[in-house]
Amino acid sequence: MKNSILLLFTLGLIIGCNTAKPVSSNNNLTEQDLLKPTSDTVTITNDELEYEIIIIEPGFNAWLMSMARPEGYYSKSFLENRNHLYVTEWNQRVLQPQRYNPNLYELQIDYSPNIDYGYEVNYKLYNYFIYFQLTYKQRLGPFVPRI
């Protein structure tokens, strides 16, 4: 059975009508390609460890391909440390719906610093947190979110 780290954010029925498409590593995308209505579902898997992240967020795919630092820019330990910090704060906000918008913080994230999720899972989870903070003007830790 697969363990899952699950982030689900849906806005309207747009997402329900789309099917998941693999994330392309093609950096030769035009501005028009980025503006095309494509699936906003990103699935990140580590088949060796049987973990996956499912992110459903309008605009994240385009942001990841166009704005995020390339894979390899950050060290794995940097990503793991930041993700642990962000997940801890995220989960605290999920448990306080009277204080934080429950439409932003819907589900807890099952992320353990004792498990090696691999570079790709940590890279995309970290970039999702940066995207989320910049898009929704939130701050999940002591660091100013920036690209």
Band of residue 147 on the pLDDT scale cut at 50, 70, 90: confident
Q: Is residue 144 part of a domain?
A: no
Q: Is residue 146 part of a domain?
A: no
Q: Is residue 57 part of a domain?
A: yes
Per-residue model confidence (pLDDT) at position 78: 96
The string of DSSP letters for 69-93 reads: PPTTSS-HHHHHHHHHHHHHHHHHH
Tally of structural domains, the chain: 1
| Domain interval for residue 132 | 3-136
Burial string for 107-130 (b: 16+ CB within 10 Å, else e) reads eebebeeeeebbbebbbbbbbbbb
Per-residue model confidence (pLDDT) at position 119: 93
Q: Is residue 25 part of a domain?
A: yes
Q: Is residue 7 part of a domain?
A: yes
DSSP at 49: T
Residues present in the chain in total: 147
91 to 12, 46, 86, 127: CA distances (angstroms)? 24, 22, 9, 17
HSE toward the beta carbon, residue 106, CA cutoff 13 A? 11
Q: Is 96 exposed, middle or buried (0-12, 13-18, 19+ CB in 10 A)?
A: exposed
pLDDT over 80 at 6, yes or no: no
Per-residue model confidence (pLDDT) at position 40: 63
Tens of pLDDT, residue by residue over 31-75, are: 444 444 445 666 656 566 567 778 888 899 899 999 999 999 999
| Residue scoring higher pLDDT (12 or 131) | 131
128 to 1, 17, 98, 123: CA distances (angstroms)? 25, 22, 24, 9
Q: Is residue 92 part of a domain?
A: yes
Band of residue 14 on the pLDDT scale cut at 50, 70, 90: very low
Q: Is residue 112 part of a domain?
A: yes
Tens of pLDDT, residue by residue over 77-116, are: 999 999 999 999 999 999 999 999 999 999 999 999 899 9
